Structure 1
Amino acid sequence: MKHGKKYNEIAKLVDRTVAYEPNDAIALVKKTAIAKFDETVEVHIRTGCDGRHAEQQIRGAVVLPNGTGKTVRVLVFAKGDKLAEAEAAGADFTGGEELIPKIQKDGWLDFDVVVATPDMMGVVGRLGKVLGPKGLMPNPKAGTVTMDVTKAIQDIKAGKIEYRLDKTNIVHVPVGKVSFTEEALLENFNALMDAIVKARPSALKGQFLRSITLASTMGPGVKVNVTKF
């Protein structure tokens, strides 16, 4: 991948041979973010897991203490009292069976997270081919299949993020925006790492965390010291 002159100049600030302490890495990420928009700060964690084995899968969610800096649109599948509860809790969209053709045929996807009550999963299951590949399928492990729709919505709006292994056994998650203070980003990063460390599969033998890289949307990657985790 070819980079421009500006990027190459900025990239020189990062020593590729050094694994930085988290606070130093965050300071560098902020310093090397030079885009004209408020870039997202992302963490990329390479694990020693083999996601082809179910017992080595990692999936869960964590509420970042300082949020993600992004407005999240929540769609809730529910019926009866739970529909009213979802609306009262601040869901952006609510409904049931009538939303299926809108999503399947009209390609409506103006939402970031889908929450469903367990009794609606039969309906939501029909959207598997659409929602699955986009990572939008509700899942009990992520707290998005629940009867407590109020808590689910509040957590998501407060900055709850989901983490999971991709096909190459790497976890990619946002931990805030470049405009956040270093302290706020560090708190979010530590909250995420606590959750990831606790999620270590018991079936895994050998090293769990192979590498951790922090980067802004358009900036260079900064390696983080893995040993403390």
Structure 2
Amino acid sequence: MSLFSLSRQCCRTSIISLAQHRTFSSTAVSLARRQNAPKIRIPSKKALAAKQKRRAAKAALKMGKLEQLSLTEAISVLRSVEVDSPKSVYELYIKTEMGNGVAVPKGRFKLPKEVKAQAEDHVLVFAEGRLAEEAKKAGAHIVGGLELIEGIINNRIRATTYLCTTSLIRAITPRLGRFLGPQGLMPSERRGTVTDDIAGYMGRIQGTSEWRADKQGNIHMPIGTVSFNGDDVVKNFKHFMLSVKKATGNVKDGKNKDGKQATVISKVLLSSTQGPSIRILDY
């Protein structure tokens, strides 16, 4: 072996020996960094089980196994998805099929257990004379006759509910029918908003709220939060569905009591803030 090779081998042996016996020390800075480093959070068994349950529910829905469920089953699935979010909201979606010339469905309701405080109605009444005085005493916000028409068309006068006495309905219809009708706000005898009993109507709507479908017949309504008892969600669901059925005249054969074609409810879905939409079978 040459002198150069021997020298090189000895050098390597020295380096390995030094590496094996080297002691590592930590400076004050590195120690401070270790002490201030965020601690790794280890989830509890309960949290892991809840996460696994949510994943399983989402996977099952994705595979189409839970596309259609009963109301109680749907609530159970959504509750498992929202197990860590008690403030998440159950959202009800109703799809209605409106025929040509059919007014946008709307109605009034008061849930057995309110989800959130409802906005106050702003009521406008077309009335004159004695009936106008009765409307004011009953709490109507705006009361007047034909002079209100121009302000309504120009959007200077707005309300959430429009009532009209029987003596004025024919006078306001030609100008306001096309304006308020598409919005579902035109006074109607069928809906009870054309009446001479203004005080009685005002008394009936007190403490209630109005729902209204959009132009495509879609209805969206929050009916509870995850913190609600399951029975409370079921009661709210059934109560609101009853209001929609009454407003649309919906029955199984698609016709109402007068024999006229009803606005058919074609689809009912229940979802939550983070959960999927589930089609409800029993409504």
TM-score, reference length from structure 2: 0.55
Equivalent position of 1:213 in the other structure: 269
Q: 1:28-69 CA distances to partner (integer Å, 9 max, x unpaired)? A: 49x59x9xxx9997533234x561387xx8856343244772
Note closer, same or farther for the CA distance 1:191–1:111 as it changes in structure 2 (3 Å cut). same
**% identical equivalent positions:** 23
Asked whether 1:225 is paired with 2:272, we answer no
Task: Please report the RMSD computed on the Cα atoms of aligned residues, expressed in angstroms.
Answer: 4.1
Q: Does 1:119 align with 2:185?
A: no
Specify whether residues 52 and 158 from structure 1 end up closer, same or farther in structure 2 by C-alpha distance, changes over 3 A only: same
Q: 1:149 aligns with which of 161, 186, 198?
A: 198
Deviation at 1:24, TM superposition (A): 6.2
Give the stretch that moved more between structures: 113-122 or 184-193.
184-193
Whole-Å separation in 1 of the counterparts to 2:126 and 2:172? 8
Q: 1:26 to 1:140 in 2, by over 3 A?
A: farther
| Residue type at the aligned position of 1:225 | I
Mapping 1:14-163, distance limit 5 Å: 15=61, 17=64, 18=66, 19-22=68-71, 28=78, 31=82, 43-47=92-96, 49=97, 51-52=99-100, 59=105, 61-66=107-112, 69-105=118-154, 107-125=155-173, 126-161=175-210
Relative to structure 1, the CA distance from residue 154 to residue 61 in structure 2 (aligned partners, 3 Å threshold; closer, same or farther) is: same
CA contact (8 A) 2:104 2:182 kept: no
Amino acid at match of 2:237: F
Following TM superposition, by how much is the alpha carbon of 1:137 offset from its aligned partner in structure 2, in angstroms? Answer: 0.8
Pair 99,144 (structure 1): closer, same or farther in 2 beyond 3 Å: same
Q: Which stretch of the first structure deviates more once superposed, 184-193 or 141-150? A: 184-193
- Indicate how the Cα distance of structure 1 residues 50 and 222 shifts in structure 2: closer, same or farther if over 3 A, else same: same
Higher normalized helix content (fraction of residues): 2
Alpha-carbon distance in structure 2 between the residues aligned to 1:25 and 1:191: 17
Deviation per CA, 1:122-144, whole angstroms, max 9, x where unpaired? 23312223212322111122221
Give unmatched runs, 5+ long, in structure 1. Answer: 1-10
Equivalent in the alignment of 2:35 = none
1:167-178 equivalent positions in 2, closer than 5 A:
167=216, 170-174=217-221
- Asked whether the equivalents of residues 121 and 209 of structure 2 are also in contact (C-alpha less than 8 Å), the reply is no
Q: 1:129 to 1:150 in 2, by over 3 A?
A: same
Name stretches of at least 5 consecutive residues in structure 2 with no aligned partner.
Answer: 1-53
Query: Secondary structure, in 3 states, of the residue corresponding to 2:219?
Result: strand
Pairwise CA distance, 1:114: 0.7
- Please state how far the C-alpha of 1:121 moved relative to its aligned partner: 0.9
Between the aligned partners of 2:122 and 2:88, the Cα distance in structure 1 is 19
Distance in 1, matches of 2:226 and 2:132, equals 36
8 Å CA contact 1:61, 1:143 repeated in 2: no
For residues 148-170 of structure 1, the C-alpha deviation after alignment (integer angstroms, 9 at most, x for no partner) is 21232233332253556854xx4
The question of whether the paired residues in 2 share the 8 Å contact of 1:165 and 1:171 is answered with yes
TM-score by length of structure 1 reads: 0.65
> Residue type matched to 2:198 in 1?
V
